[in-house]
Amino acid sequence: MARTPSIDNHGSAWRLRALCVGEDPELFFPLVETDSETARARAVCRRCPVLHACRDWAVRHGEADGVWGDTTASQRRAIRGTLRSDRPSGSA
């Protein structure tokens, strides 16, 4: 079943300019995360004027599924892991 990205009314005005708005949501939420399954969605992302805002939002909000800002779920997990390891000791 396709899912619609969660709505955050705070700081997400960029979504109105996203190229994925006119696309089938299933394209961005494949059942299996493989290069062949995510390639079309990522191609849309690479042309999108809000690619960076989308990716940053998905990383900050822990989006666990789908293609956001030309990243897959596993790529975002890796980014979050890097961000956590870059924090000084004792940081929350």
User: Could you tell me which residues are annotated as the binding site for [4Fe-4S] cluster?
Assistant: 20, 45, 48, 54
Q: CB burial class (10 A; 0-12, 13-18, 19+) of residue 47?
A: exposed
C-alpha torsion 16→70→44→38, nearest 10: -130
Q: Binding site membership: which residues? A: 20, 45, 48, 54
Spatial contact of 14 and 45, defined as CB atoms under 8 Å apart: no
